[in-house]
Structure formats: C-alpha cells, structure tokens
Amino acid sequence: MTRLPVNLMIGAVLVGLVVATAALSLVWTPYDHTLLNIRDKFAPASPVHWLGTDQLGRDVFSQLMAAARNSVAVALTAVFIGGSIGVSLGLLASAIGGLVEDIVMRLADISFAFPALLFAIMLAAVFGPSLTVAVVAIAFINIPVFARVARASANQIWTREYVFAARAAGMGRFAITRDHVLPNIAAPVIVQATIEFAIAILAEAALSYLGLGAQPPAPSWGRMLSEAQTLMYLAPQLAIYPGLCIVVAVLGFSLLGDGLRDVTDPRLVRER
C-alpha cells in the first residue's frame, strides 16, 4: 500500500468538513438562520452567537451552515446534470464516430464561448434571476467539459483488445458502451466531477453575489458577501467569514480532485 498523496488527504478532510456541515444544517443549526432580532444586530462574537450577528440580528454561524447546504446542493445538481448530459454525448460521439463525433465536438468547442456568467446573464434577463438560473448556467458549462473527457477516455477504451473481442462476438455498439466503456471511464469522469464541483461552488458564489443566483432569504455565501459589502465601514467582520467558507470548500474539492487524479492516473504525476 503506497502512501496517499498529501493533497488528497487535506482535500478529503476539507470536503468532509463542508459536506458534514451541510448535512448537519439539515437537522440542526444554533439558531434559525432566518430568525430576525433587530435588538441584537451587529452583536460581536460571543458564546451566545459564535460568530456574532448581522445587520438584522440574524446569527451569522447559522447562516453560514445553511449556506453550505445551498452551495453543496447547487454544485451537486449542476455537476450531475451537466455531467450526465456531457458523458452521454461523449460516449455517443465515441461509439458512433464520424460526422456525429465531429458535430458533438465542434458544438463543445463553440460552447466554450459562453462562460457560465454570460449564460446566466442571458437567462436572468429572460426569466429573472433565481437559483434555478444559476444551476442551469453552471450545468450548461459542464456539458462540454464532460463530453470531452468522456470522449477522450472512451476512444482509448475502444482500441482495447477486449472491446475487439466483444465486437467479434457480435455485441452492438451500445451494449459495448454500457458494459465495457462506461465502467472503464468512471475514474477520469469522477476526477473531473470533483474538480468541477470546486468550480461550481465558486460559480454559484459569484452568481449569487451578483444577484443572479440565490434570492433572499435563501442562504448563500455569495449573497451574504454582497450584503456585507454595503456594511464594510460598520461591520467589516461580516465580509470575512463567508469568503473563508468559499475558500475552504473550493480548496477542498480542488485538492481532492488533484489527489484523486494522482492516485488513479499515476502517469500524470510529474516531478513535483
């Protein structure tokens, strides 16, 4: 048993912390994160309010916990939707090849012209800003990423001898894709999903900060920051905590992704 990479372990701990917090917030937070208590506004950190309260007297720690849940849920949904569509398209392109492959890959190239922000801006202009807009925009940018990863990995599998054997035995393209290709591209897809998770958390925070994502009173680290920005002279501490949470979550998932890649694809481990 070789030693696990350091980045994998640190990443796993940070991700564990974020996911556990998100899960715990489903059943318990110190206070209701929407509970207003104007008399207690801008309370400093104390045993009563661990990280103090905001301009409406809401408990900051409870809000951060609830926002973790929002972040993880958005990232999970968006990466799952984008990943499923992307992997399906990549597998389809690889299985059929020819014109279909060309079209899918060209479309993937073209969709890189739309960063999540531009896509979210269009959707928000048409439908009005909402968390759904953020999820759809983040899912959309994930499609080409996963399509490329799935196609590149699948193309390698299609040249393996066991696939030739399966074809010789009369198995169809879709049966081979399901039974042989899909299980064998799982590792790179999972690695990519972990990294995309980090990007999705960052994107959700940015979209909510800009007002295109979570709407009040839905808890979100990004939205907490945009509220805190207007109070910087009064309560600068409110602008610190949500940002730290974003950094911990993003750092966790990106380290975990890097670590998983190092473990699953040792060829990629360069001299560090």
Question: Residues 93-122: x/- map of binding to other proteins (CB under 8 A)?
Answer: ----------------xx-xxxx-xx--xx
CB nearer to other proteins: pick between 4 and 125: 125
Does residue 23 bind other proteins (CB under 8 A)?
no
Q: Can you say whether residue 52 is alpha, beta or left, with left for phi > 0 and alpha for psi between -120 and 50 degrees?
A: left
Does residue 210 bind other proteins (CB under 8 A)?
yes
CB nearer to other proteins: pick between 166 and 231: 231
CB nearer to other proteins: pick between 193 and 202: 202
**Residues in region 30-89 near other proteins by CB under 8 A:** none
Backbone angles phi, psi at 33, to 5 degrees: -70, -10
CB 71 within 8 A of CB 248: no
Does residue 243 bind other proteins (CB under 8 A)?
yes
Tell the smallest beta-carbon distance from residue 93 to other proteins (Å). 17
Look up tokens 């207007």; give the residue. 230
CB 257 within 8 A of CB 198: yes
Instruction: Say how many Å lie between the first and final Cα of the chain, rounded.
Output: 21
Distance CA 14, CA 250 (A): 9
Q: Is 53 helix (H, G, I), strand (E, B) or coil?
A: strand
Distance CA 81, CA 43 (A): 41
Number of residues binding to other proteins, judged by CB under 8 A: 43
Site of interaction with other proteins (CB under 8 A) = 109-110, 112-115, 117-118, 121-127, 129, 198, 202, 205-206, 209-212, 222, 225, 228-229, 232-233, 236, 239-240, 242-243, 246-247, 250-251, 254-255, 270-271
